[in-house]
Structure 1
Amino acid sequence: MDRRSFIRTGAIGGAGAAASALAAPAYAQGNRTLTMVTSVPDGFAVFDDAAVYLANAITEMTDGQITIDKRPAGSLVGAFEVFDAVSSGQADMYHSADYYFINQHPGYAYFTAVPFGGTAQEVMNWYMHDGGRDLHDELGQIFGIKSFLAGNTGMQPGGWFNKEINSAEDLQGLKFRMPGLGGQALGLTGASVQNVPGGEIYQALSSGAIDGAEWIGPFADERLGLQEVCEFYYTSGFHEPGSALSAAMNLDVWESLTPAQQAIVEQASVATHSWNLAQSYANNGAALDRLQQGGTKLMTFPDDVWEAFGTASSQALDDYMDDELYAQIRESFEASMRKSSRWQTVAEDAYRQQRDRILGM
């Protein structure tokens, strides 16, 4: 039995006929409706905004031939169950962050973010021009899905804490929400890492179930209300320097689309990425000012904490190198990042330092 046959029949126990019924696209006068499950509730700034933009773009660009029925986390499947739902055919497509699915394959981390990884621009350089998209497809073939980058939050902060982090020792036993390989690295520093869905972060912080959490950035974090339950905001993090969001479609559904419809889905995903990244950066500065004016204390990690993050990140990334495809993805990603970083450092970074000095920014 091949992998795609297995996941259709056995990946989610009990899905059976109900999954088949959900997976079958709805037709009306030549049109069809595809069910898209997501990993956050409706209205979550940046993350859900990308899902809404993508759904609307596909519908508008196909002139209504394809309508996307967006189902938020918990309405059809849980936040972290969307991958299995699409792989098995329970849903037609998902919008999520692929590093939630490193238990399926650790290579998926690179299609969201890895610790000390690429900025948003560097991620897209790799994805569009240095082999990343082909590797995303290669992973998808294993699980019967077709994937696209469809959003980017940009640089993510170090997160919200209920106490100051003055040294690496303060990480010991800290109950902190952080997913992906960044979370695995943080666990290696002695923290107790929790993988809490976005829709449950506020409650977990307010109840004391966790001591701190990272989310997306000032604009999204303010909308979530994290400033109400934590005092200290570390504004630069090691774990997600340019976090991509992804859309993925069940491969049988993808192959049932016309070539024109497939091209539209791909271009709608590219447009979503650009729009979403600009949305995040356009709003983060003003949101950060509001947070600070409201009493949030903006913090930076001391050097010894950064060193601890670096040591732990190297170990976390190395732990999967015995997987051939993971190793191929990592080597491809890092080669592209080194190539991109050279020009950015000597040109853009130097320019911004001088611009900010001269204009007093």
Structure 2
Amino acid sequence: MLTNLRKKLGTIAAAVALATSATLSPSVASAAESTTWRVQSHWPGASTSYQDSLVRLKDVLEERSDGRLKLQLFEAGALFSAQETFNAVSRGIVDMGTISPSYAQNKISLAGIASGLPFAFRNVWEAAYFHQALGFEEMLRAEAAEHNVYWATDKVYPTEMVLKRPVNSMEDFKGLKIRSSGSLQTFLTDAGAAASYIPGSELYSALDAGIVDGAHWGASQGADSMALYEVAKHHVKPALNIAGTDVFIVSQRSLDKLPEDLQQIVKQALEEQFWFRTNEYQYQERVTLANAIANKGVQVNTLPEEVQNHLTQAAMKQWDKEGERSDNTKKALSMLKEFLGELGYL
């Protein structure tokens, strides 16, 4: 009887082992399988955003997918130029990229508004609300989808000037020589300042020598990283613009190839990234500026109301030009003006 019982137990054990093996094998195989996406960044490897935004997302995706989705990162220019990255992602040559919206203006009509209309938002939360609650992000995503691209703004943040002397009147503003670039250079020139482009490598010496009176290089983190506070002690508020200047773009083909659960992990991680990085960047800005005030003799120069009103009027002319690009830009600009009107800015 004991022998028969042992035989039965042996048979049951073998059956359990076989069933367990059959049950576990697919999950083991599934866990062993992984997909690696190539990601072309527009940030150099030394950039704080490369580490804080891109490397962060890489770590989040690998952790939440249990290693089933990995990102192979390439810093700025490693595979393509920043201006070529959107097309490379659109065609599926690379799976993901980071860009500034301005690099996709020939494809995305809303890119100019996304890059930041001058003197629109005065607080970061307003730009975040416009993107996420009023539907601007959905409009951007819909345009990008026409090019087989999934669009996700990384964060919204300010661009602010530093000056060697404060602005206390319109006369002070119109006498400024400012290092600028892109649409902000046009805006500042139209508003009456003398704006010109100077490469970053020459910016400190140009400020130090008095070739320019001020500049913008991001906001407080940018100014501090470029040592501009050594020669320009006045940090200007409000921001020249606040915008979603950094964007993740994902090949829709690559996204569609992933299992459904991984697709959801990617989309959820990107959604969370916007809020995490927007708030983290705002915190980092405040800490950097507070340190500059406490230890480097920097003072905050809030522009007088007459100067702010003048800049708003000059900016609105540029807004209207941007609104003429498409039906979408016309709609977005109407949304923006209504929102700013509700806030009491227009």
Give the TM-score normalised by the residue count of structure 1. 0.71
Shift of residue 131, structure 1, vs aligned partner: 2.6
Pairs aligned (count): 307
- The 2-side partners of 1:39 and 1:191 are apart by 30
When residues 220 and 271 of structure 1 are mapped into structure 2, their CA distance, relative to the original with a 3 A threshold, is farther
- The 1-side partners of 2:274 and 2:301 are apart by 29
Shift of residue 223, structure 1, vs aligned partner: 3.3
Kept in 2, the 8 Å contact 1:126–1:337? The answer is no
Match of 1:311 in 2: 313
Amino acid aligned to 1:262: Q
Given the alignment of the two structures, is residue 296 of structure 1 paired with residue 298 of structure 2, yes or no? yes
Match of 2:127 in 1: 123
- The 1-side partners of 2:310 and 2:148 are apart by 38
Kept in 2, the 8 Å contact 1:183–1:193? The answer is yes
When residues 208 and 278 of structure 1 are mapped into structure 2, their CA distance, relative to the original with a 3 A threshold, is same
- The 2-side partners of 1:100 and 1:229 are apart by 32
Kept in 1, the 8 Å contact 2:119–2:312? The answer is yes
- The 1-side partners of 2:159 and 2:143 are apart by 29
How do 1:142-221 residues align onto structure 2 when only pairs under 5 Å count? Answer: 142-153=146-157, 156=158, 158-165=160-167, 167-168=169-170, 170-171=173-174, 174-179=177-182, 181-191=183-193, 201=200, 203-208=201-206, 211=212, 212-221=214-223
Quote the sequence identity (%): 18
- The 1-side partners of 2:142 and 2:92 are apart by 19
Kept in 2, the 8 Å contact 1:41–1:48? The answer is no
2:117 aligned to 99, 114, 117, which one? 114
SS at the partner of 2:71? strand
Match of 1:260 in 2: 261
Match of 2:144 in 1: 140
- The 2-side partners of 1:171 and 1:33 are apart by 53
- The 2-side partners of 1:234 and 1:104 are apart by 34
Shift of residue 136, structure 1, vs aligned partner: 1.4
Shift of residue 224, structure 1, vs aligned partner: 4.0
Larger Rg: 2
Shift of residue 178, structure 1, vs aligned partner: 4.2
- The 2-side partners of 1:49 and 1:282 are apart by 13
What are the Cα deviations for residues 26-62 of structure 1, in whole angstroms up to 9, with x where unaligned?
Answer: xx96322212222222243356512222222122222
Gap regions ≥5 residues in structure 1: 1-27, 346-361
How do 1:42-61 residues align onto structure 2 when only pairs under 5 Å count? Answer: 42-46=45-49, 48-61=51-64
- The 1-side partners of 2:146 and 2:189 are apart by 29
Gap regions ≥5 residues in structure 2: 1-30
- Stretch of structure 1 that moved more, 186-195 or 242-251: 186-195
Shift of residue 313, structure 1, vs aligned partner: 0.9
- The 2-side partners of 1:193 and 1:32 are apart by 48
Match of 1:239 in 2: 241
Match of 2:97 in 1: 94
Shift of residue 182, structure 1, vs aligned partner: 4.2
SS at the partner of 2:323? coil
Kept in 1, the 8 Å contact 2:168–2:303? The answer is yes
Kept in 1, the 8 Å contact 2:113–2:322? The answer is no
How do 1:345-356 residues align onto structure 2 when only pairs under 5 Å count? Answer: none
Amino acid aligned to 1:143: H
When residues 130 and 307 of structure 1 are mapped into structure 2, their CA distance, relative to the original with a 3 A threshold, is closer
Match of 2:275 in 1: 274
What are the Cα deviations for residues 85-139 of structure 1, in whole angstroms up to 9, with x where unaligned?
Answer: 4234443222233245435444123335322334433334343343323311221
Kept in 2, the 8 Å contact 1:126–1:132? The answer is yes
- Stretch of structure 1 that moved more, 270-279 or 297-306: 297-306
Match of 2:77 in 1: 74
When residues 271 and 54 of structure 1 are mapped into structure 2, their CA distance, relative to the original with a 3 A threshold, is same
Structure 1 stretches of at least 4 aligned residues deviating more than 6 Å after TM superposition: none
When residues 320 and 114 of structure 1 are mapped into structure 2, their CA distance, relative to the original with a 3 A threshold, is closer
- The 1-side partners of 2:263 and 2:257 are apart by 9
SS at the partner of 1:205? helix
Shift of residue 234, structure 1, vs aligned partner: 1.3
- The 2-side partners of 1:336 and 1:214 are apart by 26
Give the TM-score normalised by the residue count of structure 2. 0.74
Given the alignment of the two structures, is residue 324 of structure 1 paired with residue 322 of structure 2, yes or no? no
SS at the partner of 1:91? coil
